[in-house]
Structure 1
Amino acid sequence: MITNTLMLKLKERNSDNIKKAQEVLLGMKGKIPELLDVEAKINIRSTAMSYDILLITKFNSMADFESYISHPVHVEVSKYVGEVLETGAAVCYES
């Protein structure tokens, strides 16, 4: 299994924007066949070095992950994230 994690720090770091981003990310659930699971967790401890959201996605294989990346639903979500994102970090690993 492949797990991909993203940490997202938004430009506008208020609770409404963070909640909206979480909803957009979770909106992928059930719409992309290769996406086995998706979680979007909101950070409850805000510091200068904190990120706002942790996105956790799971796939059967790297091929499925690559299909997910180019899926139209993911492409639309990525466009939204690109508009609201200040910075991010990713880790993809076998689980």
Structure 2
Amino acid sequence: MIKHIVMWTLKDQAEGRDKAANAAEMQSRLLALKGKLPQAVELEVAVGGEIFAAVPETDVVLSSSFRTKEDLQTYAVHPLHLEVVEFIKKVVSERRVVDYEV
């Protein structure tokens, strides 16, 4: 099993919205991928810097699981995922990623 964790810091303003509105939009778009991309065994999204005590500058966290590295690679280039990525790139100021095998 491959665990894929992504942490984002959002811009204060982007796409006509404030940080909180963009975080909610990111969460909604990411969660909409559930069930549409069979490669993702698990997909969770947490919003709100106050809940990430260890990384206070983090606004949104994605935690997902994949059976294999190949499944993660397939997910990464899937058109539905890439649509979400297009939006995320417009509202994010920093991105941190870790993938590991469990």
TM-score, normalisation: structure 2: 0.84
Does 2:101 correspond to 1:94? yes
Once the two structures are superposed, what CA deviation does each residue of 1:26-57 show, in whole Å capped at 9, x if it has no partner? 1111111101111010134189x511011011
Give unmatched runs, 5+ long, in structure 1: none
Q: 4+ runs of 1 displaced by more than 3 Å?
A: none
Query: Residues 46 and 61 of structure 2 are in contact (CA less than 8 Å); yes or no, is this contact kept in structure 1?
Result: yes
Shift of 1:63: 0.6
Q: TM-score with structure 1 length normalisation?
A: 0.90
Match of 1:10 in 2: 10
SS in 1 for 2:46: strand
The residue matched to 2:40 in structure 1 has which SS?
Answer: coil
* RMSD (Å) for aligned C-alpha atoms: 2.0
Question: How many residues matched?
Answer: 95
Gaps of 5+ in 2: 13-17
Amino acid at match of 1:66: Q
**What SS does structure 2 have at the residue aligned with 1:45?**
helix
Tell me the distance in 1 between the aligned counterparts of 2:11 and 2:49. 17
Tell me the distance in 2 between the aligned counterparts of 1:57 and 1:7: 12
Matches within 5 A, 1:25-64: 25-45=30-50, 49-64=56-71
